[in-house]
Amino acid sequence: MQEVRGSSPLSSTTLFSIFFADACLRVAVLILNLSLGPHACKLAPPMETSQRDEQFYRSMVRMRAVETELLALSSAGQLRGSLHLAQGQEALPAGAGAALRKDDYVTATYRGHGYVLAKGGPLLPIIAEILGKAAGLGGGKGGKMHLFDLEYGILGTNGIVGAAVGTAAGAAWAAQLQKTDRVALTVCGDGALNQGHVSECMNMAVLYQLPLIILCENNLYSEMTPLSRSHGDVNLAGRAAGFGLNTAQIDGNDPEAVYQVMSEAVNRARTGGGPTFIEAATYRTIGHYQADSGIGYRTAEEVEAWRAKSPLDHWAAKLGKRAPAIAAEEQAAVRAVFEEAWALPGPDPLAAGTQVFA
């Protein structure tokens, strides 16, 4: 492994790059296939826009349906522990998930179940884990904040703000050392940018030119505290640029924009172009967790204004009369999984004492 000083030029996503990213990707695939053979660099096959529209909508509807079920269970007192929902932010996992391969790595926040869903693994073990069942991903030991699915590259959602960035940087490191073309995506919030660990990892990602993408969901609040009261400088991409990462600022409520800029970053990482930081503007239209109404530190007007920008509603409008049937299909599928998962047995109490060591 060579230590390379990062000197990557800054790039911000412009309309130009949005329109031409797909074309660039295709050219890159062509060139790589010609020069290295068909298996040397496997980029995700580009999808047609119409296919993507449906995929994004399905992904977002599925995520919302899962959250609706969880909220109902939590409100009824049937699901305990902290529940961090992401209503209003569904475009991010939908767009990012579509830009990754199954063997790419992902780490995310405690609000990161959407990315686990979007990575493509089966739904039942995910829901079973959230419900604390033996058949869950972690046998009921991880729970809502600690979802891992190694087969699909999910190296954990995480209960510690900013801590998952290191895990993803390590996976990116391994991908580089093992000479694979895998990349690692880590998802963090705006609040995480104040954690020293995130700065540490940005520095090392540039120093070692890691195939890492940091997707920062800037939803304007670090838990319940607004950016203006927690960040000396609210230009988050600017911080990353200061470390020498490639950066982009995008509308995080537009799954197509997320997909495009992610594809660009993934391609860059796969081909040795180093790490990228993406600041995505979005908003959580629900409380930070189940005990937070989401109002008080935010005005009802502000929440309503962002609700009007709901990616789900926009994509429903975009799909027109096809949308209701797709939504109904996804909701029914999620409902069925919840019913199946709910009926599953809990763990054997004695399992609490197992698996401490490998």
Partner 1 sequence: MPTQELSYRDALRMALVEEIDRDQNVFVMGEDIGRYQGTFRVTEGLFQKYNVEQNDWRIIDTPIVEPGFTGIAIGAAMTGLRPVVEMMTMSFSILALDQIINHAAKIHYMTGGQSTVPMVIRGPGGAAKQLSAQHSHSLEGWYAHCPGLKVVAPATPQDAYSMFKQAVRDDNPVIFTENPGLYTIKGEVTTGPDVLQPFGKAQVLREGKDLSLVAYSRMVHVCLEVADRLAEEGISAEVVDVRSLLPLDTETIYQSVRKTNRAIVVYEDWKSGGFGAEIASRISEDCFDDLDAPVGRVGGLNVPMPYSRVLELECIPNADDVMAAVRKLG
State the residues that interact with partner 1 by CB under 8 A: 1-3, 105, 107, 136-142, 146, 148-150, 155-156, 159-160, 163, 165-175, 177-178, 184, 196-197, 200-201, 203-204, 207, 355-358
From 161, 152, 274, 162, select the one nearest 213 (Cα to Cα).
274
**Closest distance to partner 1 from the beta carbon of 57 (Å):** 31
Residue with smaller CB distance to partner 1, 97 or 140: 140
Minimal distance, residue 125 CB to partner 1, in Å: 10
∠ CA 317-115-57, nearest 5°, is 15
Beta strand segments in the chain, E: 105-109, 154-158, 184-189, 212-218, 221-222, 225-226, 246-251, 276-281
Q: Report whether 217 contacts 280 (CB < 8 A).
A: yes
The token duo for 41 is 């660099």
With respect to partner 1, which residue has the nearer C-beta, 145 or 303? 145
Rounded to a whole number of angstroms, the minimum distance from the CB of residue 157 to partner 1 is 10
| Distance of closest approach, residue 277 Cβ to partner 1, in angstroms | 16
What 3-state class would DSSP assign to 47? coil
Instruction: Give the neighbor-by-neighbor strand order of the sheet with 276-281.
Output: 154-158, 105-109, 184-189, 212-218, 276-281, 246-251
User: Cβ 149 to partner 1, closest distance in Å?
Assistant: 8
Rank residues 149 and 256 by Cβ distance to partner 1 and give the closer one: 149
Kindly report the backbone phi and psi dihedral angles of residue 210, in degrees, each rounded to the nearest multiple of 5, phi listed first. -75, 145
| Alpha-carbon gap, residue 226 to 172, rounded angstroms | 32
Please, which residue, 204 or 214, has the CB nearer to partner 1? 204
> Closest separation between CB of residue 147 and partner 1, Å?
9
Q: How many CB atoms lie within 10 A of CB 16?
A: 8
What DSSP assignment string belongs to 227-258? GGGT-SS--HHHHHHHHT-EEEEEETT-HHHH
What is the chain's alpha carbon radius of gyration, rounded to the nearest angstrom?
A: 20
Task: Rank residues 28 and 174 by Cβ distance to partner 1 and give the closer one.
Answer: 174
CA distance 57 to 70: 20
Q: Which is nearer to partner 1, 93 or 153 (CB)?
A: 153
Min CB(174)–partner 1 separation in Å: 4
- Measured from the CB atom, the residue of 59 and 107 that comes closer to partner 1 is 107
Query: Smallest distance, Å, CB 101 to partner 1?
Result: 14
Q: Which is nearer to partner 1, 155 or 286 (CB)?
A: 155
Dihedral sign, Cα of residue 283, residue 289, residue 295, residue 296? negative
